[in-house]
Structure 1
Amino acid sequence: MTPLLDLPSTHTVRTGWRGLPAAQQPAWPDPAALDEAVATLTASLPLVVPRECDLLRNRLAAVARGEAFLVQGGDCAESLDTADAGSLLRSAGTLQQLATVFGYMMSLPVVTVARMAGQYAKPRSAATEVRDGVELPVYRGDAVNGQAFTAAARTPDPHRMVRVHQRSAATLNLVRAYGAGAQAGPDHALEGLRRFAAASPEPARYGALTEEIARAGGFTGTGDGWHTPGELFMSHEGLLLDYESALTRVDAVTGLPYATSGHLLWIGERTRRLDGAHVEYFSRIANPIAVKIGPSADADELLRLVDRLSPGNEAGRLTLVARMGARRVREALPGLVERITAEGRTVGWVSDPMHGNTISAPSGHKTRRFDDILDELSGFFEVLHGLGAHPGGVHLELTGDDVTECVGGGAGVGMADLPLRYRSACDPRLNGDQSLDLAYRLLELRDAVRVPGVPEALR
């Protein structure tokens, strides 16, 4: 592995970001409680090990080279109190089914990454929330405070981070057991797709596509054992630096520091400041990492960020996740791809079609239109193929449960349906059927989003 930087001791990695601008960090009210929670986490076992992180880095190197496709998805924000084994396994199954569809669509192996076992903190646009004249701290995810609008629930509690570590360990155990079973194999994924197609409003249309997938082999990646059925990596936004730094460990073999809270961590649009604490911490860990990029990103700024986070320009180290919005993706993304490509930087390009398309429903719920999500994904493919680059993956907020949080899709969820089963702790997710509907719709558009002259290897 190429050294990232002059990687120092664990202590330096854990503390080097302190004193730098650190956006979106809670105002912990009790320093002694924070010290106690951090000490507990520092003494805790790692959730993932370097070998797993290195394996994912190798998988993502294939994505960056145009030889694989990334399917990443899961909860907007996990919950400490309502976690359910069935829900977790349904989401894992949905990801495997999506991988099957996208693997067929791209004729490439698929890397499957879940937003699980760590996605407990959320950036927010304001520090406080006002209801009926009462102002309280905003909900920042279960790693920080509670959803209930009371002073007690909204007070940041650092011991919640210890609970996050414990809950994440349990989630990992469950998902690993799932991955080792027959239910994570190709036959089970195909059976799930057949059930979806049969229950869809257009069973003949989706049934025919499903049988196409089955005849092609029905799973993602073949040959040389590249893809292991059930292989599922864990990811989350590395937002809470107290949590991440406390779980940093140095690999005894390589001497490199790893964030052991998850295999892949990403920096959000609100925290990617070049001279900020998040970029400093992420530049020092050896995990594969990602950065969310919005429509206001400047090409020069992005190039400097890429060089800071991936100074060795090693494939698999850095993934750029575009979250532009359906109305902006075709105008804002091309200049960024052109500049990074022209400068010879090797990154993976992935689309997050969720976060740029959030709207408010008449009921007051945050929601997203299925058609906007599909349009942004289509635009992403058009832009990347038009520039001769590889559209490397999708990053979705989804659940395998039958929620009503996003509107549209084949199931016909409307604005009036949102209150029926709106269960997200923060942002709206695609339900299981909408997620598969999205993949099938994109599969139908595969010829439309390919540009003549693009090398077959990039298709």
Structure 2
Amino acid sequence: MPANWNIDSWKSRPASQQPSYLDPQELNEVLAALRLLPPLVTSWEVDSLKQQLAKAQAGEAWLLQGGDCAESLDDCQSESIASKLKVLLQMSLVLIFGSGQRIVRLGRIAGQYAKPRSSDTESRDGQTLPSYRGDLINRAPFSTDHRRNDPQLLLRGYERSALTLNFIRALSEGGFADLHHTENWKLTFVEDRPEFERYRELVNSLGDALKFIDAISAKPIAELGRVDFFTSHEALHLDYEQSLTRESVRGTGWYNLGTHFPWIGERTRSITGAHVEMLRGIRNPIGIKIGPTAKPEEVVDLVRLLNPENEPGRVTLIHRVGQGKVETILPALIEAIQDCRSQVLWVCDPMHGNTVSTTSGQKTRRFDDVLAELRSAFAVHRSCGSRLGGVHLELTGEDVTECVGGSSGLTEDDLHTAYNTHCDPRLNYEQAMEIAFSIANEIKPF
């Protein structure tokens, strides 16, 4: 256990982005119930992910992290979950062909139910209500009833996370991810899309390779029939995160067993804050979102605090500085980490620094900005003698129109067609696959 840390020590630190509840007793009763429920993941799974992230850090694997901006309790449906997995599996197959490396698959799924907000309240037509903070806390419709912070939603979030994880595990182990049967990964609406044609060509090449491997192998290769699929979410609601943080039965320390990979957001990464204090005591691998205001010395101090033993795979730095700022901000951050010899995995989030508003006030992202930040990040890491080891994307398996641009040429006029997100705009199938092919070109062996 880290020095001066215990399961409650975060409560002595300033805690931002925490909801307030009208009935503290009801909240305490819900938290007591959560503490008695089984964990969602195991410490063995968490340790396995850390080992795989250490390989990505060493250049032997690549991290693909993606999923919803904010999950909805109502979307805990088999088709919705399977669609997200299909997109990530198709993207990972493109990356495997591009890099010849193992791909670590990490979903923003089974727990991404809380969102930070820039304001505690929202006003419409003269009425002011609490901001929507994700389905773990309140609901999106703009009404007094829906926007009330409801402790019972913590239980609903836990239950939906458990159901989602159960289905993911069943798919991963039950043949859904078998490379011999990539037809399982097909999305019904993409048959005539250009990016799917490129993917189909890749699958045909894979089929020939698998026939050769099967012919020379004495027995089936397990890795071709299943995949590891890990979960992640922003560790935002600290009472909820604490209720699922348990001491390992193996005596190896404390783990957040509500997810494999919790991350600290740009708004909650204060080195003296409660979120950093909570996460520094757990054994999970941890992500830290790094925005354009981050100072190199601040990032170094965070990494040292969260990884005092300089353990490979422990800390992932997810930079999200915005297109046009990468060349001016990222080099100093990389050089500071190199100078202190800290072990980190570098990942690019090209989404969050590129959110803009249309003339009508609707949030969107320009695909060209997303792609430009990603390409610039690759270039800067190479020039600094560093390595970009992963990507963090907000995407969906639905046929949405939330980000403009891409091969289909979506414009602002198209956004109303299928703008389904409650929070930030997500990449659709074509845009996500276009990103995958672009990454494959960057990481292919020379």
Identify whether the pair has TM-score above 0.5, normalized to the shorter chain: yes
1:160 and 2:157 matched: no
Range that drifts further, 381-390 or 43-52:
381-390
Match of 1:344 among 337, 341, 344: 341
Question: Which amino acid in the other structure matches residue 369 of structure 1?
Answer: R
Q: Secondary structure at the match of 2:132?
A: coil
Within the alignment, does 1:121 sit opposite 2:114 as a pair? yes
Equivalent position to 1:179, from 172, 187, 206: 172
Partner of 1:46: 39
**Residue 374 (str. 1) matches residue 371 (str. 2):** yes
Moved more, 266-275 or 77-86: 77-86
Unpaired stretches in structure 1, ≥5 consecutive residues: 448-455
For residue 380 of structure 2, what is the amino acid of its counterpart? V
Q: In structure 1, how many angstroms separate the alpha carbons of the residues matched to 2:315 and 2:103?
A: 17
Deviations 1:208-243 (A, max 9, x none): 56656666769xxxx997787321001100000000
Aligned equivalents of 1:84 and 1:424: distance in 2?
16
Structure 1 residue 84: deviation in Å? Answer: 2.0
Q: Cα offset for 1:412?
A: 2.3
For 1:324-339, what aligned pairs fall within 5 Å after superposition?
A: 324-339=321-336
Aligned counterpart for 1:109 among listed residues 102, 107, 118: 102
TM-score (norm 2): 0.92
Instruction: Classify 1:243/1:195 alpha carbon distance in 2 versus 1 (closer, same or farther; 3 Å).
Output: closer
Do structure 1's residue 70 and structure 2's residue 63 form an aligned pair? Answer: yes
Question: Is structure 2 residue 126 aligned with structure 1 residue 133?
Answer: yes
Per-residue deviation, 1:18: 0.6
Q: Distance in 1 between matches of 2:100 and 2:370?
A: 23
Partner of 2:54, secondary structure, is helix
Deviation, 1:205, is 6.1
Q: Tell me the equivalent position of 1:264.
A: 261
Q: How far, CA to CA, are the matches of 1:202 and 1:159 in structure 2? A: 42
The verdict on how the C-alpha distance between 1:198 and 1:168 changes in structure 2, with shifts beyond 3 A counting, is closer
Q: Distance in 1 between matches of 2:143 and 2:167?
A: 33
Which residue is equivalent to 1:296?
293
Q: Which moved more, 1:192-201 or 1:418-427?
A: 192-201
Structure 2 CA distance for partners of 1:391 and 1:195, relative to 1, 3 Å: farther
Amino acid paired to 1:375: A
Q: What does the per-residue CA deviation read over 1:345-399, in whole Å, with 9 as the maximum and x for residues that have no partner?
A: 1100001111001011234321111111111111111111222222110111111
Instruction: Find 2:424's aligned residue among 424, 427, 430.
Output: 427
Q: Deviation of residue 189 (structure 1)?
A: 3.9
CA–CA separation in structure 1 for the residues paired with 2:221 and 2:306: 31
1:160-210 deviation per Cα after TM superposition (whole angstroms, max 9, x unaligned): 111100110000011111101222122344785899996234777666566
Q: How does 1:370-409 map to 2 (within 5 A)?
A: 370-409=367-406
User: Match of 1:25, as an amino acid?
Assistant: Q
**Take 1:107 and 1:7, find their aligned partners in 2: how far apart are those partners?**
44
How has the CA–CA distance of structure 1 residues 275 and 224 changed in structure 2, closer, same or farther, with 3 Å as cutoff?
A: farther
* Cα distance in 2 between the residues matched to 1:422 and 1:394: 24
More off after superposition, 385-394 vs 299-308: 385-394
Matched position secondary structure for 2:176: helix
The 1:345–1:444 alpha-carbon spacing in structure 2 relative to 1, beyond 3 Å, is: closer
Distance (whole Å) between structure 1 residues aligned to residue 16 and residue 99 of structure 2: 38
Tell whether the 8 Å contact from 1:47 to 1:262 is kept in structure 2 after alignment. Answer: yes
Cα distance per residue 1:63-104 (max 9 Å; x no partner):
111211000111111111233210110101111111111222
Helix, strand or coil at the partner of 1:403:
coil
- Against the structure 1 CA distance between its residues 398 and 268, is the aligned structure 2 distance closer, same or farther, given a 3 Å change threshold? same
Aligned mates of 1:388, 1:21 — CA distance in 2: 37
SS at 1:266's partner residue?
strand
Which amino acid is the alignment partner of residue 157 of structure 2? V
C-alpha RMSD of the superposition: 2.5
Q: Which residue of 1 aligns with 2:357?
A: 360
> How many angstroms does 1:44 deviate by?
1.0
Are 2:75 and 1:82 equivalent residues in the alignment?
yes
Q: TM-score, normalised by structure 1?
A: 0.90
Inter-CA distance 224–53: structure 2 relative to 1 (3 Å threshold)? farther
**For this pair of structures, how many residues does the alignment match?**
439
- The equivalent of 2:408 in structure 1 is 411
Match of 2:248?
251
For residues 230 and 445 of structure 1, do their structure 2 counterparts lie closer, same or farther at Cα, with a shift above 3 Å needed?
closer
| Mean Cα deviation higher: 279-288 or 79-88 | 79-88
Aligned amino acid, residue 110 of structure 1: I
Q: Deviations over 1:385-422 (max 9, x none)?
A: 22222211011111111111111112222211111111
Q: Judging changes above 3 Å, is the alpha-carbon distance between structure 1 residues 366 and 197 closer, same or farther for their aligned structure 2 residues?
A: closer
SS of match in other structure, 1:129: strand
Q: Which amino acid aligns with 2:353?
A: G
Q: 1: distance between equivalents of 2:381 and 2:78?
A: 38
Q: How far apart are the structure 2 equivalents of 1:324 and 1:227?
A: 37
Q: Is the 8 A contact 2:86 2:186 kept in 1?
A: no
Q: Which whole-Å CA distance do the structure 1 matches of 2:54 and 2:404 have between them?
A: 35
> What one-letter code is carried by the residue in structure 2 that aligns with 1:35?
N
Show structure 2 runs of 5+ residues with no match. Answer: 212-219
8 Å CA contact 1:197, 1:206 repeated in 2: no
Determine if the alignment matches structure 1 residue 236 to structure 2 residue 233: yes
Q: Note closer, same or farther for the CA distance 1:224–1:253 as it changes in structure 2 (3 Å cut).
A: farther
Q: Distance in 2 between matches of 1:181 and 1:40?
A: 32
Q: What SS does structure 2 have at the residue aligned with 1:292?
A: strand
- Supply the distance in 1 between the matched residues of 2:158 and 2:440 (Cα, whole angstroms): 38
Separation in 1 of the partners of 2:244 and 2:325? 37
SS at match of 2:16: coil
Stretch deviating more after TM superposition (252-261 or 115-124): 252-261
State whether residues 7 and 256 of structure 1, in contact with CA within 8 Å, keep that contact through their aligned partners in structure 2: no
Output the CA distance in 2 between the equivalents of 1:129 and 1:360: 17
Indicate the residue corresponding to 1:451 in structure 2. none
